[in-house]
Structure 1
Amino acid sequence: MKKYFFICISILIMIIIFKFSSEDAGESSRRSGIILEFIQRLSSKYLKEDLLSYAVRKSAHFTMYFLLGSSLQLSFNDNARSIPNKFIVLTIVFLYACSDELHQSFIPGRSSEFGDVLIDSAGGLASIFIGDILRKISETVYRDRVKNILKGE
């Protein structure tokens, strides 16, 4: 059941990515502008707007594909730690990023950039690394609790 839940979450994330990629340049800039304005209010006014805008857009790429990679990993249940499953997750993330950039090339005012595919793939790769770290921490905590229970502490 958990597997199908995370497969559905992965598909939902893919739909959201597709929707964002379907926006023309004006709508995409408006959406980024809202986030940019919020960040500018929180941060100092010394940050250049064009640099901040670039960081917001690329962070959005990284974050969405990090979430996609995470949900795909969780759909593998206990087998997420195997190398072949990690490769499958990274391959799906990479291929979807490629298809997303191809899709964007047909949207007025948008462009297709391989650099974005690399950022997207880095988000998927980061989800694998962080997933491994969290899994190891969880296993260590669980193992220590079991040891303490067996010792009678």
Structure 2
Amino acid sequence: MLPVLKSEDGGDNPITIRSWNPKYLTNCSASAARTSDHALVTNMTGTTLVPYNNNVSIAIILQMKSGRNFKLTYKICEVVQVKWLTDFMKKYTNLPHTCPFKPATYNFYNMHLPPKNMPIPIPERDFEVILQVFVTNSKEMIIDIVTKFGKVLIKKLT
């Protein structure tokens, strides 16, 4: 069993679902723990209520403590065409590898974050990875998740 983590702000989980939209998604949960080699292993689940195709986009944002950001944005059907993302999906999720994504319960299991093949320069410490899924045209948020890395993950509980 992986150890539970505490952040400096007292939170029990370095991953937080800040919001999700019940029109599009339900039964959302996320948890994370450190392994003995200090990898952050994350599990997430959620049930989509409508088909996702290019009507939905995903943004992956690396936010550093300095305030600098690096952002990748893809429409959902573009995701299945991006090698590093499809490799990641095949290894850690039950997401389909074709578009559209039908309404279903999708799981992300034992993900090592941040992905080693992510084409963003990853700093050594003190940063967040924000995952946002939103309606492409209106920018209406479907889910907003933040994962904290660095000094905020300093205590292992036994």
* Interval of TM-score (by shorter of Structure 1 and Structure 2): under 0.3
Write 1 or 2 for the structure with the bigger share of helix: 1
Write 1 or 2 for the structure with the bigger share of strand: 2
TM-score (norm 1): 0.26
TM-score (norm 2): 0.25
- Radius of gyration: which is bigger? 1
